[in-house]
Amino acid sequence: MHLVQYKEVQIQISARKKIRRQRLFLIRSILCAATAIIVLIHSSFLVFGDTPEGQNGTSEVQETSATDSSPGAQPDVFSPTILLDNTPANAPSINGTAYVLYDAQSDTFLFGENVDVPLHPASTTKILTILLAIENLNPEDTITVTKEMFDYIPEGYVRLPLAEDEVITVNDAMYASLLLSANDACSALAFKMAGSKEAFSEMMNEKARELGCLSSNFSNPFGLPEDNHKTTVHDMAILLEAAMEYDVFNEISTASSYTIKETNKFNEKRVINNQNRFISTTTYAYEYYVGGKTGFANASGHTIAAAAVKDGRLLIGVIFGADSSEIRYSNLIEMFNYGFSQYTTSAIDQNELGSLQIDTARQIETAIADYGLYISDRQIDTISHITTSAAQASGGYTTSIDLSSAVIAPNVKSQTHSFPIYRLYSNGAKNNIGTLSVTIKNRDIIDESEGNKLTFKSVLQTIIKVVVVLILIAFLCIAGWIYYHVQKRRKTIKNRRKPKVL
C-alpha cells in the first residue's frame, strides 16, 4: 500500500517537472522569437536608410577639410603684404616714403618698403575714377557742367578749365583727366556717375573693396589730400592692374596729345599734351611703359603709378612721397629694369601636375585600401604663373604634394582633404603653388543619398527578413497552441486523481 502511494507520488512529481520544463522551454522560445523579430524589424529600417524615432544613426557624414588656401582667394580681412624678396640683392635705392614692384601675371609683390602704410596718393587717385568711368559710362555720352562740379576745387589746382553749363563728352573728360590731370574734368566724370562728391566716394570705396584694397579710403575723385583720403602703394598697384585690363586706359594714358573740339562755351579747339614724362620727354622715355598716372601735393610729395610690359610680363611700380618729379621717373625705370632682369615668371605646367596627381592618388589608395576606403573624387587647383628670382630658377626644381599632415578617419562616410602642392628649388626654397583636394568615401557605410534607393539586393534582403519574421510568428502560434493543450491535459489528469465523492 505504501509502495503504491509512493509510486503515485513519484509519478505526480515527474509530471510536474515535465510540465515545468515544457513551460520554461516555451517561455524561452517566445522570448527568443520576440527578440529576433525586434532585431529584424530594426535592421529592416536601416536597409532603407531610416532610423527608428529616438535612435541615432551610425552612418552620419563627417566632413574634414583643410583651411581654404586656394591660390588667388580673396581675404575677408586685411593681412600684411607678403613680399617675394624682403632684402633684394643689389636692388636700386628708391627715393620715396613708400614703394613697391608688383608682377601682375603671377600676383606677386616682388619687393618694396612701407607697402601697407596708408598715405596721400595725390592725382594717382584719378586711376580709380577713370576705371569707374570706363565701366559705367559711354565715351560718347555728354556731360553738362555745373558749378558744383568744380566749385570745391582749391585755387592753384590744375583745371582744363571748364565753364558752367558747358557740354563736353565723357571721352573729353577722361583724356583731360589723365593727360593734363585736370581736376575739374575728373570731378565732372564723378558727378556724371553719382551726382555728388560724397556719393561718388562711396562708389570708389566699394570698388576698392571689391578689388581687395582693404587699406584704402577715398573721399574725393581727383586726389585732394583730405584726412580720410588715403591709400597704400599695395592698393594702388591693384587699382592700376584693374584699369590696365581695359585697352582704352592704355590708349588714353599713352597718347601724346588729344584735341577737344569746340563746345557751346569755347569757339576754338583745345589741344592738351600728355604731362607724363615717360611719354612727353626723351630723357625719361621708357619703351616698355604702357600706362599710369602721376601726382603731386604738398601733403603727399611726388607720386607715380605706372605699368610696363616686356616679353609678356606685366610689372606695376608705385612710388609715394618722392622728393622731386624727375627722380620718381628714374627710380621707377630702375625698378622695372631690376624686376625684368632679376626675376622670372613662368606658367605652371598642368601636364606635369597631372601625372603627379595620379601618383599621389595611388599612394593614398594603397594606404586606405585595408580600411574599406576609396577615393571618389580628386581635383587640383593651382595658380597660373609663379615668379621667382632668376638665380633660383636657373638651378631647377621639383614638384611635390605634401601628405605629411594627412589624418584620415576610417569610420566616416565621406571626408575631404586638401594637400598643398610645392615647387622645391635646388637651393632649398619652397613655394606653394596650389592644392590637391581629395574626397574619400567608405564602402561599408551606406550613403544617405543612396539610403532611399531600392536596389535588387536591398529588396531581396527585405523579403528574406519578412519570411523569417512570418516563420517566427508561426512558431509562436504553434508554441502557444502546444502550451494550451499541455495545460489542458494537466488539468484533466489532476481532475482524474481527485477522490470521487459518492
Q: What is the CATH number of the domain that holds 428?
A: 3.10.129
CB atoms within 10 A of CB 80: 9
Answer whether residue 2 is part of any domain: no
More confident residue, 424 or 370: 424
Confidence of residue 260 (pLDDT cuts 50, 70, 90): very high
Percent of the chain with pLDDT over 70: 78
Phi-psi region of 372 (alpha: psi -120 to 50; beta: other; left: phi over 0): left
Q: Three-class SS of residue 29?
A: helix
Distance CA(244)–CA(315), nearest Å, equals 11
Of 315, 347, 379, the residue at which a domain comes to its end is: 347
For cell 589624418, what's the residue?
407
Please tell me the predicted confidence (pLDDT) of residue 387: 94
Both 122 and 206 in one domain: the answer is yes
Average per-residue pLDDT for the chain? 84
Answer whether residue 251 is part of any domain: yes
Of 329, 347, 365, the residue at which a domain comes to its end is: 347
The C-alpha angle 322, 215, 305, rounded to 5 degrees, equals 35
Please tell me the predicted confidence (pLDDT) of residue 495: 60
For range 166-193, the mean pLDDT: 97
- The lowest-confidence range among 53-57, 290-294, 322-326, 428-432 is 53-57
Both 169 and 231 in one domain: the answer is yes
Percent of the chain with pLDDT over 90: 58
Please tell me the predicted confidence (pLDDT) of residue 272: 96
The CA radius of gyration of the chain, in Å to the nearest whole number, is: 42
Confidence of residue 498 (pLDDT cuts 50, 70, 90): low
Of 298, 329, 347, the residue at which a domain comes to its end is: 347
- The lowest-confidence range among 93-97, 147-151, 362-366 is 362-366
For range 151-172, the mean pLDDT: 96
Answer whether residue 460 is part of any domain: yes
The tens digit of pLDDT for each residue in 35-86 reads: 555 555 544 433 333 333 333 333 333 333 333 333 444 445 778 999 999 9
Both 134 and 49 in one domain: the answer is no
State how far the alpha carbon of 390 is from the alpha carbons of 83, 102, 341, 394, 398, in Å.
Answer: 16, 16, 7, 6, 16
Distance CA(92)–CA(450), nearest Å, equals 64
Answer whether residue 74 is part of any domain: no
What phi, psi does 65 have (nearest 5°)? -150, 155
- The lowest-confidence range among 220-224, 300-304, 383-387 is 383-387
Answer whether residue 75 is part of any domain: no
SS (H, E, C) 213-257: CCCCECCCCCCCCCCCCEECHHHHHHHHHHHCCCHHHHHHHCCCE
Both 275 and 151 in one domain: the answer is yes
For range 274-288, the mean pLDDT: 96
Both 404 and 356 in one domain: the answer is yes
Q: Three-class SS of residue 429?
A: coil
More confident residue, 169 or 494: 169
The tens digit of pLDDT for each residue in 418-434 reads: 999 999 999 888 889 99
The tens digit of pLDDT for each residue in 87-131 reads: 999 999 999 999 999 999 999 999 999 999 999 999 999 999 999
For range 276-299, the mean pLDDT: 96
Confidence of residue 14 (pLDDT cuts 50, 70, 90): low
> Taking 70 as the threshold, does the pLDDT of residue 17 lie above it?
no
Both 342 and 407 in one domain: the answer is no
Question: Are 284 and 325 contacting, i.e. CB atoms less than 8 angstroms apart?
Answer: no
Confidence of residue 408 (pLDDT cuts 50, 70, 90): confident
For range 445-463, the mean pLDDT: 61
Both 42 and 175 in one domain: the answer is no
For range 259-277, the mean pLDDT: 95
For range 148-172, the mean pLDDT: 96
- The lowest-confidence range among 46-50, 281-285, 412-416 is 46-50
Distance CA(107)–CA(409), nearest Å, equals 36
For range 481-490, the mean pLDDT: 69
Both 221 and 360 in one domain: the answer is no
> Taking 50 as the threshold, does the pLDDT of residue 381 lie above it?
yes
Distance CA(304)–CA(99), nearest Å, equals 10
Best-predicted range by mean pLDDT (74-83, 251-260, 341-350):
251-260
Q: Please, which contacts does 32-38 make with residues 24 or more away whose CB atoms are closer than 8 Å?
A: 33/472, 33/473, 33/475, 33/476, 33/479, 34/476, 36/468, 36/472, 37/469, 37/472, 37/473
Domain that includes residue 365, residue range: 350-445
More confident residue, 59 or 394: 394
Both 163 and 258 in one domain: the answer is yes
> Taking 80 as the threshold, does the pLDDT of residue 159 lie above it?
yes
**What's the number of domains the chain is made of?**
3
Both 330 and 355 in one domain: the answer is no
What phi, psi does 285 have (nearest 5°)? -65, 140
Element spanning 370, H or E: none
Distance CA(92)–CA(337), nearest Å, equals 10
Answer whether residue 124 is part of any domain: yes
Both 153 and 269 in one domain: the answer is yes
Provide the β-strand partners of residue 185: none
Please tell me the predicted confidence (pLDDT) of residue 133: 98
Please tell me the predicted confidence (pLDDT) of residue 69: 37
Answer whether residue 270 is part of any domain: yes
Confidence of residue 478 (pLDDT cuts 50, 70, 90): confident
What does the block give as the cell for 332? 621707377
Q: Which CATH number is 327's domain given?
A: 3.40.710.10
Answer whether residue 70 is part of any domain: no
Both 372 and 305 in one domain: the answer is no
Please tell me the predicted confidence (pLDDT) of residue 4: 46
More confident residue, 486 or 330: 330
